[in-house]
Structure 1
Amino acid sequence: MVKWIPRLIIITSIFTLYPNIVGLFSVFERDIPKDIMNQIEAGYATMIEIDKEMYVDHDTIHLKYLVYSEEETLLFYDIRKKEQGWSFPGIALQLIDETGYKYQGSGGSSSGMVWGESCINDYEPLPKEIQTIVIRYKWYDREFQTEINLTEATI
């Protein structure tokens, strides 16, 4: 009679952990929404793979892609948290072009994952003549930046 208890615990654990297991495998896929990927493939938007990391205390911000079109500019990034208890301020990521103009953010979204967050920030469109953009993180006493060459489009 007691033999079914361990089996029940194993089956319950598998069902409970299933979303986490699927989430681990989805990390290896490109996580760009299909409608945006269709715009890139059709030539209406340009994607640049950034693949750079910035560190805030014990946590990592992984800048993944910059996608820009005539309508908008999107910044895709992940936050890998080792410290719990703080929310990443998406407005702390600024886009600045070579003339010093700061592009206005108009919103964003994030999805909680087992390892942290996957985020998308939306900014106003970049002019066609801009060749480099600086992604700057500035929040209280923390500040760092990385420069992206827009002529090196991935797709």
Structure 2
Amino acid sequence: MVDIKVLRRIIIIICLVILIPEIIHSLPKDKYLDDNKIKRAIEKGEAEVIELNIKDKIDNDIFTAERLIIGKEESYLIYSLRKSEVGWSFPAPIQIYDEKNKNYQCTQGFSRGKLYLSINRRYGDEGVLRFDKIEKDVKMLILKLEWYDRKMEIEIPLKKVKSHEK
């Protein structure tokens, strides 16, 4: 008969083998979330990158606008959401306006789960929102989230020095 300790160790090893690919996939990769279209545009000098790191709270969770990439035809917002508890997924119904109240339509987006090495907020999402190209004379963007009882508004000043990264 199989010893219970041996059986328990075998089960633990099997579970770890099953979980390892998911853990590796959830680890931070690069700051453009492996989006090759964004990387190519930046490498060719066809996109401007603005590092933001602007944070706001949604309930007890922390939303961070990481960086804004302004390309020739479209713009991208890279964000993260660090959750305090499991229970809701971030649907990304973010509306983006400029100071003249022009709405920049979100055309596409993706997100994925992410593990954090933090005691309080160990999991969350990171994602990219693709939206219409921001006009050159825009000085401020406003991100608005209204989803059921959750609300957030972040102002992003665009007066900062824009940098081309290679």
TM-score w.r.t. length of structure 2: 0.76
**RMSD (Å) for aligned C-alpha atoms:** 2.5
Q: Does 1:131 align with 2:139?
A: yes
Cα deviations by residue, 1:107-155 (Å, 9 ceiling, x for unpaired): 3212233412222112111122223322233445523222232542243
Residue in structure 1 matched with residue 120 of structure 2 by the alignment: none
Shift of 1:71: 1.2
2:89 is paired with a residue of what secondary structure? Answer: coil
Q: Counterparts of 1:6 and 1:90 in 2: how far apart (Å)?
A: 41
Question: Alignment identity in percent?
Answer: 28
Unaligned runs of 5+ in 2: 116-122
Cα deviations by residue, 1:59-104 (Å, 9 ceiling, x for unpaired): 111211111112111111112222333232312x222223221212
Residue in structure 1 matched with residue 101 of structure 2 by the alignment: 100
Shift of 1:36: 1.1
**Higher relative contact order by CA 8 Å / sep ≥ 6: 1 or 2?**
2
Which residue type is aligned with residue 40 of structure 2?
N
Which residue type is aligned with residue 97 of structure 2?
I
Q: Counterparts of 1:150 and 1:57 in 2: how far apart (Å)?
A: 29
Residue in structure 1 matched with residue 23 of structure 2 by the alignment: 21
Q: Counterparts of 1:148 and 1:138 in 2: how far apart (Å)?
A: 21
Q: Number of matched residues?
A: 153
Shift of 1:15: 0.5
Q: Counterparts of 1:34 and 1:62 in 2: how far apart (Å)?
A: 22
Moved >6 Å (runs of 4+): none
